[in-house]
Structure 1
């Protein structure tokens, strides 16, 4: 999952860096408000994806003495900073530039031709070429992110992409997917505004569509901020809890479970905690041989002449305790193995054995043999 996200982010950084330079050149050459806001948009995309990459690299560090379950949540923090900070800044700069362009609407004149390497070119053609290149490159990066998004959907058995977009556990990939989708939309908006301004001769179209691009950046900041906030507030993994409950109900050696809780550290690290009560008749059914084996092993460590009644009683008691602990540990290990097989994101399972539930078979000993 993380590897696919890194690939999507890396492609996005490279492509958006190139597009930022192209749009910035076109905006300066054509004096287009929409093109300038698209340049700001691409710059914010590039910086944002640099933040995402930093979050992926720092969040991928293993557990250490300060971070018991790894550094995974740092990823959400970097994502939150990039979403709220950079996109909010991009929205503010875009609106400010649109306001300035509106007040200069009847004051400044746009160039009719632009000279590049001695060749005079109409500004509309510069905008058209740059926007076409941007559209092709942005569409390619969007395709890379969409393929990884679909792969995660198939892995989780999801069928509704819009619902999965809200509930997916990889906010970095979601951020890249949304940014690339909005980047393609921004190119289309800029082309529409510039085209309408060219056809009608009214530059207000260029300004209005630049406002639309800026507002779109602001809405993106709000949405991505909300997604990352979910994972910074100790959200529960309902699927893991449901799987644990189903496993417990299907096991004959567990009488009941309660106080079931979970915490998502990141998309690959989920901690599940529960208390269980074991079923007496199932627990003790195969323990007699284990107790006798442990008792024999303990007594063999003591010379024959020292095997007093007290020593034999101690060996018997210790054998019972050891066999009980081993049987309990086996139950916990099996629970953990089954849960991780069904939910690979579960990194740690803590099961507290609350006790052994008394069985009604004590009143009818004959049932023990059935």
Structure 2
């Protein structure tokens, strides 16, 4: 039987159902764990260094960057929890698994980035505009920004490596895949690291302008710009997690591939309804109506349907499958 929450039981001689893409929950999941671990380590080191530099230099931009890095570090902890909880197997209380927990914890991380990173940086910058405070020890600030850029670059390259590999599988370009992927950890790390690199350039420019002009205004403006950048990134992440939480159809290319695979089965003559819903990172549920070959009795048809469900659920990316018989007057679907 392959109703949601029960283990699939394909026949011993049957090949696992193919989605048309080389998708596996295990290997990509391992990549996500590595990506988050690299980001967590890098952000923790960067946060400590930036905090020290901000205290010594009294730079508004460096203070905003320190808040940014502490927010990112906290976010990575949320993403670690998200990966662990989403990987738990289905049970009777959660027949489609716990995959959507990844979006809950990733949503918390995005809200944290919005508040602890974006809102704080904007508020601090405005405060510095009202009560300017000159900075000092600029060389230390530049050194910490350079070190941070190097560490953030290492983390960003890891997320790019994973995103490119997954994008090739899904036949997408890099940015399209990051925005569309069902893996919130990959999207969060990629977006946060990209924002961090841009923020470091802004902070460096603000600090440099402060040193050249002797005015703390450019530094304060740099803090505000960093905050605005983080608010925009957090808004995008919040919206993407919201969409997956309320339920989102799988990518049309995956749907077409599943439809082709169903029609390629000798026991399936038609498919008249197909709904693929994302229920977690690289996890989908399949609901459909099919017309089976032959003219069996009702009891035999039920057995064949259960066997077909088990075959579809044998794919590592399919959490649950529910198939019903098509009505004779229903139009057929085509890939």
**Which TM bucket (shorter chain)?**
0.7 to 0.9
Aligned to 2:101: 74
Q: CA RMSD in A?
A: 2.4
Aligned residue pairs, count: 301
Deviation at 1:253, TM superposition (A): 4.6
Following the alignment from structure 1 to structure 2, what is the Cα–Cα distance between the partners of residues 150 and 69? 28
Q: Hey, what's the Cα distance between the residues in 1 that align with 2:265 and 2:42?
A: 53
> Could you say what secondary structure the match of 2:249 adopts?
coil
What pairs with 1:215-294 in structure 2 (closer than 5 Å)?
215-237=228-250, 238-250=252-264, 253-280=267-294, 283=295
Task: Give the one of 211, 215, 225 matched to 2:224.
Answer: 211
Is residue 112 of structure 2 the alignment partner of residue 140 of structure 1? no
* Larger CA Rg, structure 1 vs 2: 1
The 10-residue stretch of structure 1 (328-337 or 129-138) with the greater mean CA deviation from structure 2: 328-337
TM-superposition CA deviations, 1:199-218 (whole Å, max 9, x none): 22222111111110011111
Q: Secondary structure of 2:224's partner?
A: helix
CA distance in 2: counterparts of 1:109 and 1:351, whole angstroms? 69
CA distance in 2, matches of 1:88, 1:60: 28
Note if contact 1:88-1:221 (Cα within 8 Å) is conserved in structure 2. no
The 1:65/1:199 distance shift into structure 2, 3 A limit, reads same
Secondary structure of the structure 2 residue equivalent to 1:261: strand
| Cα deviation code 1:26-68 (max 9, x no counterpart) | 1111110001000000010101111111111111111223211
1:106-125 paired onto structure 2 within 5 Å: 108-111=133-136, 123-125=137-139
- Relative to the length of structure 1, the TM-score reads 0.75
Q: Secondary structure at the match of 1:347?
A: strand
Once residues 91 and 267 of structure 2 are traced to their aligned partners in structure 1, the CA distance between those partners, rounded to angstroms, is: 36
The answer to whether the 8 A contact 1:59-1:71 is kept is: yes
Query: Post-superposition, which runs of at least 4 consecutive aligned residues in structure 1 deviate over 6 A?
Result: none
Q: What TM-score does the superposition give when structure 2 sets the normalisation length?
A: 0.82
Match of 1:46 in 2: 73
For 1:29 and 1:127, how far apart are their aligned partners in 2?
Answer: 9
8 A Cα contact 1:80 1:225, kept in partner: yes
Tell me, in whole angstroms, the C-alpha distance in 2 between the residues paired with 1:14 and 1:154: 28
Conserved 8 A contact 1:278-1:356: no
Counterpart of 1:348? Answer: 320
Structure 2 Cα separation of the partners of residues 99 and 51 of structure 1: 29
Name the SS for the 1:147 alignment partner: helix
